[in-house]
Structure 1
Amino acid sequence: MELKKAGNCERVGDEAMIINKKIKAMRIKYIANSIICLVFILTGCSDKYESLQRVNQPPVILTDRDSLKIRERDYMNHFQGAGFLRITVKDSMAPGMHIVAIDSTGNLEVFYDSVKMTKAIPLNQASVIYVASKQVGVFPLSITVIDKLEKTNTKTIPVRVVANTPPVADFRMNPTDYSPGKAQYSIDASMSKSPMSRIISYTFYIDGVATTLLTPTIKTTFYAGDHTVGVVVTDDLGAKSMQTIKTVTVL
């Protein structure tokens, strides 16, 4: 009886070893098949990416003007809106595009959504940048657009930065009421000119006493004698005109 049991145990052990070998072989085959599938997927994705790169053309950059003319130190854009540049990009892969604006001379500052551009930022189908400079001269502005497949295109436009011209003060004096020894006058400086800027204040010097206003007119009363009136205007960049002086005599 004992010998018979021993024979049965040996057969059971052999069968277990065979089963384990089959399981191990199946595991090896499964792992091998998984690796083959993974390689196929990765290769297929790579081929698809390369195919898209071949088909996709570089983005086309369009601007609403081919050059810019701006004032020096104009960060408030009072000079004819010249600092704004509208950029439109035509690209089938438009979502995910980025824009970089670079001045190789280091004399231009570029702003996007009121924030100074220091790196590539997301770009919509159409965007507006603002260009400013503290230095007078002509500088190249390079605009580079990068799409999500890393296709790039660059457009360069010249930016002419002109020196700010100080304003010129002018005014007229009109009597509004007169009696012996006394006269009321309206002083109007609205004809002052500033071809490259916006006049933001008017300083009236009446017999040497200064009064600064945001409006170009002032009224005053003169008494018998000779009087002087001077006007100085200031533009939005802080440039002041020479003082224009006129005299009035009240009898």
Structure 2
Amino acid sequence: MKRLYIVLAVIAFILLGVYSVRIDKFNFGGNTRYSDEEMKKMIFPNEFSKVTLYNVFRSKVKKDYNIPFIQGIDIYVTGLHSADIIVYEKSVVGCVKYMSSYMYFDKDGIVVESSNTLLEGIPVIDGLDFGRIVLYEKLPISNENVFKEMLDITQVLVGYGINVDRITISSDNNITLYIGNIEVYLGDSSELNGKVGELKDIWEKIKDLSGTLYLDNYNPIKDNTTYTFKKR
């Protein structure tokens, strides 16, 4: 019996030692939607989740953390008290309002997330005619041309690093961007790259104004493209 007590005491001592060795230095990478502190609270919500040995095992097993807009997370234990955490975010280029939620879609038009919160820097697309939206499926837009137009403009904006509050696509397929107090009328989807490039070039001149910028007459052949800005 005495031997059993000794064995149990040794096991308890080992467990106590294991539990006392925890990660307290966290190096995050890849996260833009959440701060390092927010990610730390979600991945390491309690003291046990910081135990080094637990994280060694956790790093070997694919785990779904169920964090909105996060595709996956890799944990690399780099020392007894340190770990690198690599965050893989879902690719999001726009969203549509559906009932009481924002449905976020990727560059292929696949709905990747549903949230009651509107993310900063992600445009809301208005003017689309769609049916029932299902998570992880393609947006059910009846008009394929409008669907392609929507994906084209969102990707061009991402390419130029332009954040837009809202995009409307009218029934005759004309596009208008809304950025703060400025409306940018692009007209149809022809020469989207050139039109958005022009917007990028002149943005510093107009960003503090209020009014409508007309780029629908953009002509790539002309050396000096003319545009009209009407103040409000």
TM-score per shorter chain, which class?
under 0.3
| TM-score between both structures, scaled by the size of structure 2 | 0.28
Higher Cα radius of gyration: 1
Higher normalized helix content (fraction of residues):
2
The answer to which structure, 1 or 2, has the higher relative contact order (CA under 8 A, 6+ apart) is 1
| TM-score between both structures, scaled by the size of structure 1 | 0.26
